[in-house]
Amino acid sequence: MPAVMMLSARENYDACTSIMVGKKASADGSVMTSHTCDSWYRTWMQMVAPAQYANDTITEILDGRMHTEYPGSRDGVKVSGTIPQAKSTFRYLDTAYPCLNERQLAMGETTYSGRDTLINKNGMFKIEELQRIALERCSTAREAITLMGELIKQYGYGDAGECLTIADPNEVWIFEVQGEGPDSIGGVWAAVRIPDDHIAVSANVSRIGKLDLSDPDNYMASDNVKDVALRLGLWNGEDEFSFWKAYSGGNYAKEPKNYSVRELFIMNQLAPEAGFTADLEELPLSVKPSSKVSVEDVAKLLGSYYEGTSNCLADRLKVKNGSGEDADTIVSPVANPWMRPDEIAVYEAMGDSAMHNIRTVSVSWCAYSTIIQCRDWLPDGVGGVAWVCLDNPGQSPRFPIFAGVTDLPDMLKICGQHRDRDDAALWHYRKPNRLATVRWGKSRQFTEPERDRFLAKGMRELPHIESLYKSLIKEDKTEEAQKLLTDYTADFFGATIVSWDQLGRRLWRQHWSGF
């Protein structure tokens, strides 16, 4: 990793958030999964075309694509092994963690690391390659879970503890997986279906607890899920088995809990009457929200920083009120929710005990974020839509990429993590976003409405796009229908680039006298 990028990278275990929404819990009946990819992962993305293969074709399983600069790059990429290729594969959206295919199968991801003693680096599959193969070959969440389980058993899992939040137009599941130690190439995993009228959150903590494997409609697991825990002394065989207690033991703050600040905050925001508190040992995996959840609600939560609570960093840095009184009552204009740890340390050294670092949901080191809707009342091509943003999801606008899109703008096919380059979309958002935080109290007054305008625009225009798409499909004009979606995504994305370039120029004018 280049030295300049080390400043914004963070540990993997503290690096992603995913919110899941069942079809009866959502405002429009869609099933949702989501993801904030919060670290130095690639920002390039592409639509991989469907393909047909001859018998006895093999495909490579790779390691290292998450840090490449463009789709064809093999810099730092290694071949972990090969497996038989399917006779046909689906189109899918190839992000660092592949996320959506043409059949409305969608995935989010968070890393929870788990116990170091369970890692076996000789396993063939990292989590992103499991996702890729499943999206190429599967139509439903259950199919994807079953296939990934088979691949893990046969070829081995070589990653740390990982969670996938897997959705299709009918249901959403949470899937957690780990290795089974250095002496066994395989893996252990469990999956739980989120009730249709519930929401759930995963944010770098193992969330799955009890497993009722007598109920296969709602629970799935590897056939060794209890045996490995017993063999390695992670479960005594007498107490009720809990996946997170056995294979993780707690959260990344070393607390013996299956949640941390983000899970607690998001579930309390969506279900305040549940009264969840930080003294709970175990937070329920899912909860029924107090009201139906929209895409806008999920976007707001993924962009949140605990505003209105005692954990909001931006409210802590105060200045004198000008009346001559001693009390510091006005929030400083230089305060922002995403102050760097070294900035915070300066205030702490000056004796400001109110300033201390806390992990917010949205972070400035986010590579990209997705909110994916799967909708069973629409054709697959337009029913599956990923609302994507690059850089900080609390600042950047989202644009739609449909399951039926066949190509993406060139700017999205270049990763911006390696260096500053104008042909990479990331920097068109990142530069204005960073400038906005210099005087965030003032900048947010015009940057946040512009951010929200694009999601509102999408929600307003989508019914028309959906209607046109359905008409073209009914007339057997598949190519025209796909072009409609591809062009709409390109135009929408382009509008966000123009807007953020303009914001950047406005922010430079705002700072003409210095920082």
Of 272-281, 344-353, 382-391, the poorest mean pLDDT is in: 344-353
CA distances for 240 relative to 1, 211, 220, angstroms: 43, 9, 17
Residue 488's SS3 state is helix
- 48-64: pLDDT as tens digits: 999 999 999 999 999 99
Structure tokens at 268: 């309390």
pLDDT at 161 over 50: yes
**What is the rounded CA–CA span in Å between residue 114 and residue 326?**
48
What's the rounded mean pLDDT across residues 467-478?
Answer: 98
- 219-270: pLDDT as tens digits: 999 999 999 999 999 999 999 999 999 999 999 999 999 999 999 999 999 9
Burial class (CB in 10 A: 0-12, 13-18, 19+), 284: middle
**Which DSSP symbol is given to 47?**
E
Structure tokens at 382: 């337009």
**Would you give the distance in Å from CA 512 to the centre of its chain?**
36
Structure tokens at 134: 């499943």
**What is the rounded CA–CA span in Å between residue 416 and residue 480?**
32
CA angle, 31 as apex, 25 and 33 as ends, to 5°? 105
**What is the rounded CA–CA span in Å between residue 312 and residue 183?**
45
**What is the rounded CA–CA span in Å between residue 206 and residue 218?**
18
**Would you give the distance in Å from CA 235 to the centre of its chain?**
31
What's the rounded mean pLDDT across residues 406-427?
Answer: 97
**Residue 15 pLDDT class (50, 70, 90 cuts):** confident
CA distances for 375 relative to 26, 385, 400, angstroms: 11, 9, 14
Quick one: CA torsion of 244, 356, 264, 400, rounded to 10 degrees?
-100
Are 181 and 160 contacting, i.e. CB atoms less than 8 angstroms apart?
no
The predicted structure's pLDDT at residue 10 = 37
Name beta bridge partners: 8.
none
pLDDT at 204 over 80: yes
pLDDT at 352 over 70: no
Residue 60's SS3 state is strand
**What is the rounded CA–CA span in Å between residue 480 and residue 488?**
12
**What is the rounded CA–CA span in Å between residue 373 and residue 388?**
11
Are 259 and 12 contacting, i.e. CB atoms less than 8 angstroms apart?
no
Residue type at position 285: L
